[in-house]
Amino acid sequence: MKRALLAENGPEGNGSCTKARIMLCQRCKKQQATVHVTEIINNEKRERHLCEDCAREEGVAIKAQINLQDVLSGMLQAHEAAGEEASLSCPDCGMTYGEFRNQGRLGCPNDYEAFAEPLQEVLQKVHGATEHVGKIPRRAGSDQRAQRELMQLRRRLQQAVEREQYEEAARLRDLIQEKETGG
Partner 1 sequence: MNLDDLITSPAPWLEPGGPNGDIVLSTRVRLARNVAGRPFLPRMDPAEQQELEAHLKDAIQKAHDENAFTWFDVDSLADIDRQCLLERHVISREHAAGEGARGVAISADQRTAVMTNEEDHLRIQVYSAGLQLQDSWAIANHVDDRLESQVAYTFSPKLGYLTACPTNVGTGMRVSVMLHLPALVLTQQIEKVFNAVARLRLAVRGIYGEGTQAVGDIYQISNQASLGRSEEDILANLGSVIPQIIEYEQQARAALADESPEALDDRVYRSWGLLTNARTISSEETLTLLSAVRLGIHLGRINGTDIGAVNELFLMTRRGHIQKIRGRELGEAERDVARADYIRQRLATGG
Residues found near partner 1 in the complex (CB under 8 A):
92-95, 103-109, 112, 119, 122-123, 126-142, 144, 146-151, 154, 158, 179-180, 183
CB of 150 to partner 1, least distance (A): 3
CB of 165 to partner 1, least distance (A): 16
Nearer to partner 1, 27 or 173 (CB): 173
CB of 171 to partner 1, least distance (A): 17
Nearer to partner 1, 112 or 166 (CB): 112
Q: How far apart are CA 86 and CA 119, in angstroms?
A: 12
DSSP states along the chain: --EEEEEEEPPSS---SSPPPP-B-TTTSSSBP-EEEEEEETTEEEEEEE-HHHHHHTTPPPP----HHHHHHHHHHHHHHHHHHHT-B-TTT--BHHHHHHHS--SSTTHHHHTHHHHHHHHHHHHS-SS--S---SSGGG-HHHHHHHHHHHHHHHHHHHTT-HHHHHHHHHHHHHHHHH-
How do beta strands 3-9 and 35-41 pair? Answer: antiparallel
CB of 4 to partner 1, least distance (A): 37
Nearer to partner 1, 54 or 90 (CB): 90
Residue 146 amino acid letter: A
Q: Please give the backbone phi and psi of residue 19, each rounded to the nearest 5 degrees, phi first.
A: -70, 120
CB of 122 to partner 1, least distance (A): 6
Nearer to partner 1, 74 or 141 (CB): 141
Nearer to partner 1, 21 or 138 (CB): 138
